[in-house]
Amino acid sequence: MAIKVYGSMLSTATLRVLLCLTEKDLDFELINIDLAAGEHKMPHMLSRNPFGQIPAFEDGDIKLFESRAIIKYIVRTYVNKGTDLVSNDPKKKAIETMWMEVESQTFDPATVGLAWELCMKRFLFGKKGNQTIVKEEEKRLERLLDVYESRLSESKYLGGDSFSLADLNHIPMIKFLMDTQTKEVFEAREHTSAWIADILSRPACLKVFGIPAY
């Protein structure tokens, strides 16, 4: 039975799951949910995620939501498939987990407003973002990226020497923002910029972002 992902190519959380499945060389079926029509809040989706968010995920009788839980399930279940996305070394794993939490607790909250103003308003409603909000949020992102720049000046990837879920988790949001004016904020930082070029050029990334949005 194929793995099913109910989600949208406009959703960073959906893309996180598709990137993980593709890195792990797993087949999946993407069932597109129409965000603009509010399909994620409709009964057939609320039965899959009672909080009304996407993606929802099915692998046989396993039914999950929350993208960061889904990818952990995937890497635990399909250990011997595709790319190793977590370290087996307990100390390295602890550092990778820490940077996964930084993405979740700090990077995502600092970028979600930019993604809304600069991407989602355009995708969903054909509107431009509010530049006052964008400038404020970019200042916040700059302070955050100074810490990333320091980390990436001493370590090729966030979790250490190898690409891991800690890096993968950042890809969807960075990919969206690199198509906007915020690209300049990332590119002003040498090591961050090299890291972004590296992770966005991975075959799995090129493959996933080649999937049509509709």
Contacts with its own copies, residue ranges (CB under 8 A)? 50-51, 62, 64-66, 68-70, 72-73, 76-77, 90-91, 93-95, 97-98, 100-102, 104-106, 144, 147, 150-151
Judged by beta carbon, residue 66 or residue 84, the one nearer its own copies is 66
Residue 134 identity (one-letter amino acid): V
Tokens 């969206």, residue located: 176
Judged by beta carbon, residue 60 or residue 210, the one nearer its own copies is 60
Q: How far is the CB of 153 from its own copies (least distance, A)?
A: 12
Report the SS3 class of residue 62: strand
With a CB cutoff of 8 Å and minimum separation 6, the contacts of 187 are 193
Judged by beta carbon, residue 86 or residue 199, the one nearer its own copies is 86
Q: How far is the CB of 106 from its own copies (least distance, A)?
A: 6
Judged by beta carbon, residue 97 or residue 162, the one nearer its own copies is 97
Q: How far is the CB of 51 from its own copies (least distance, A)?
A: 6
Q: Which two tokens stand for residue 193?
A: 């910029």
Judged by beta carbon, residue 36 or residue 94, the one nearer its own copies is 94
Does the bond joining 55 to the residue before it have cis omega, within 30 degrees of 0?
Answer: yes
Q: How far is the CB of 214 from its own copies (least distance, A)?
A: 26
Q: How far is the CB of 5 from its own copies (least distance, A)?
A: 15
Burial 64-101 (b: 16+ CB within 10 A, else e): bbbbbebbbbbbeebeeebbebbbeeeebeebbbebbe
Distance, in Å, from the CA atom of 51 to the CA atom of 64, rounded to the nearest integer, reads 12
Q: How far is the CB of 91 from its own copies (least distance, A)?
A: 6
DSSP collapsed to 3 states, 3-34: EEEEECCCCHHHHHHHHHHHHCCCCEEEEECC
Sign of CA dihedral 130, 136, 139, 145: negative
Judged by beta carbon, residue 47 or residue 131, the one nearer its own copies is 47
